[in-house]
């Protein structure tokens, strides 16, 4: 029996599925919560440490660069030792790193702590998705992937609310980061309490043990559908960096919008994305044309961003377009994960998800350089043009990934 075929045990199937999905969704929410913990605090950090925004951006690039390199290979550990241990390691490591950032006496201390946080961050996608694939009933897998993505988006949404508005705005950035770290340690304790639900049965990873793991990566590089998935994740992550970190300033410059109204556009995008992920999970379980779902969502998202770039629109229309774009992009996520699962050789879920999802970190590391260059050159509309272009190129990756179901058996040989 392969890991994909393993059924949940020890509880009624629906109840077991709900517990596993809830715990994994909580872990994924925390990983995204910490990914942008510093972003809203940049103006405060800049004043306290007397450094440039470029220096602060280096922390982000370092974080995503280290996380991407490590994530590409951490799937080996997931397949051999189980995702539950690594998921707990990731939560604890990120929580402690962010907590210690709250005590940093100087800017340079943030750099090694960002590296430590990146090592914690790298485990989540391979561990989370391997657990879901192995433990959740196949008929609920699309919804499981959807709730997993929804949790991550909620982490992005909640991070500035909790860290900046909830604490740092009146108690200082140090208190905000310390509070965030403590919350993560509490959540890690909750997941540890129920960790038995996440553990794979003995012997489930036997096939993974026998597989020559590093040689397997050589075959992945020659597997066009899985390399297309890697490219897709890099493109989508780069586009997300543009939306999250540069769209607000770009809207202020293009439309002369008040900062609060421009920020409402980003909020609408993230809220739309969260709702889209939930709807996409239901759709992925009911409709089998996953490539069509993903391609249509990307196309509509590209159209929305192009309208913002090329048309003179009132801000309510811009906010509505961002909400529509976020909803459609979020709706593609569960179908995309189902496509990756279909292209995955048996017993290699952790390695494959770890490899292809490292594209997210590559895009996260390179995206700030592209969008920063556009902004520094005054090409504010170019921010939305670049985002639209990344979505359109992503459609080509999805179409290539569609062929992965035929390639998976060959990759396993």
Closest Cα to residue 257, out of 342, 195, 328, 318? 318
pLDDT digits (tens, 9 = 90+) for 44-61: 888 899 887 778 878 888
Give the 3-state secondary structure of residue 69: helix
**Mean pLDDT lowest for which of 4-18, 139-153, 242-256, 349-363?**
4-18
User: For residue 174, what pLDDT is reported?
Assistant: 95
Residues 270-294, mean pLDDT to the nearest whole number = 82
In this structure, are residues 141 and 338 in contact, taking their beta carbons and an 8 Å threshold? yes
Q: What percent of the chain has pLDDT over 70?
A: 85
User: For residue 236, what pLDDT is reported?
Assistant: 87
User: For residue 217, what pLDDT is reported?
Assistant: 65
User: For residue 384, what pLDDT is reported?
Assistant: 94
Q: How far apart are CA 265 and CA 322, in angstroms?
A: 6
DSSP at 106: S
Q: How far apart are CA 380 and CA 375, in angstroms?
A: 6
In this structure, are residues 239 and 385 in contact, taking their beta carbons and an 8 Å threshold? no
Q: Which residue has the higher pLDDT, 179 or 152?
A: 179
pTM: 0.73
- Show the beta-strand stretches assigned E in 26-122: none
Length of the chain measured in residues: 413
Q: DSSP characters for 381-395?
A: HHHHHHHHHHHHHHH
User: For residue 115, what pLDDT is reported?
Assistant: 94
Report residue 412's pLDDT band, with 50, 70 and 90 as the boundaries: very low
Residue 377, pLDDT > 60, answer yes
* Residue 145 CA to its chain's centroid (Å): 12
**Exposed, middle or buried, 50 (CB in 10 Å: 0-12/13-18/19+)?**
exposed
Residue 2, pLDDT > 70, answer no
**Mean pLDDT lowest for which of 213-217, 249-253, 290-294?**
213-217
Q: Which domains does the chain carry?
A: 1-210 (1.20.1250.20), 212-413 (1.20.1250.20)
User: For residue 214, what pLDDT is reported?
Assistant: 59
pLDDT digits (tens, 9 = 90+) for 308-324: 999 888 999 999 999 99
User: For residue 203, what pLDDT is reported?
Assistant: 45
**Mean pLDDT lowest for which of 80-84, 278-282, 300-304, 339-343?**
339-343
Report residue 256's pLDDT band, with 50, 70 and 90 as the boundaries: confident
Q: How many CB atoms lie within 10 A of CB 271?
A: 18
């Amino acid at each position: 029996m392969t890991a994909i075929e393993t059924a949940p045990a020890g509880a009624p199937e629906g109840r077991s599925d709900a517990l596993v999905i809830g715990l994994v969704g909580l872990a994924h929410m925390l990983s995204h919560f910490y990914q942008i913990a510093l972003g809203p605090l940049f103006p405060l950090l800049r004043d306290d440490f007397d450094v440039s925004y470029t220096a602060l951006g280096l922390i982000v690039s370092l974080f995503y660069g280290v996380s991407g390199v490590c994530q590409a290979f951490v799937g080996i550990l997931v397949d051999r030792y189980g995702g539950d241990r690594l998921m707990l390691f990731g939560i604890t490591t990120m929580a402690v790193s962010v907590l210690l950032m709250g005590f940093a006496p100087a800017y340079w201390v943030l750099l090694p702590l960002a590296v430590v946080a990146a090592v914690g961050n790298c485990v989540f996608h391979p561990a989370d998705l391997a657990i879901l694939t192995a433990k959740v009933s196949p008929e609920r897998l699309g919804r499981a992937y959807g709730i997993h993505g929804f949790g991550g988006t909620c982490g992005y949404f909640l991070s500035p609310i909790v860290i900046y508005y909830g604490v740092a705005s009146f108690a200082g950035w140090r208190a905000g980061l310390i509070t965030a770290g403590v919350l993560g340690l509490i959540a890690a304790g909750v997941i540890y309490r129920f960790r038995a639900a996440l553990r794979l049965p003995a012997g489930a990873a036997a096939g993974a043990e026998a597989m020559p793991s590093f040689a397997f990566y050589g075959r992945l590089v020659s597997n066009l559908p899985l390399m297309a998935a890697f490219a897709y994740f890099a493109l989508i992550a780069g586009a997300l960096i543009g939306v999250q970190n540069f769209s607000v300033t770009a809207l202020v410059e293009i439309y002369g919008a008040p900062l609060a109204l421009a920020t409402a556009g980003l909020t609408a995008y993230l809220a739309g994305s969260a709702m889209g992920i939930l709807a996409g999970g239901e759709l992925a379980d009911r409709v089998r044309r996953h490539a069509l779902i993903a391609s249509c969502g990307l196309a509509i998202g590209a159209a929305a961003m192009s309208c913002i770039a090329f048309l003179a629109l009132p801000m309510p229309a811009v906010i509505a377009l961002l909400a529509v774009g976020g909803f459609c992009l979020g709706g593609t996520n569960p179908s995309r994960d189902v496509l990756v699962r279909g292209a995955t050789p048996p017993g290699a879920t952790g390695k494959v998800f770890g490899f292809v999802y490292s594209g997210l970190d590559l895009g996260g590391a390179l995206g700030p350089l592209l969008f920063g260059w556009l902004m520094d050159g005054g090409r504010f509309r170019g921010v939305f043009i670049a985002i639209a272009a990344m979505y359109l190129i992503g459609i080509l990756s999805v179409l290539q990934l569609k062929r992965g179901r035929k390639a998976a058996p060959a990759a396993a040989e």
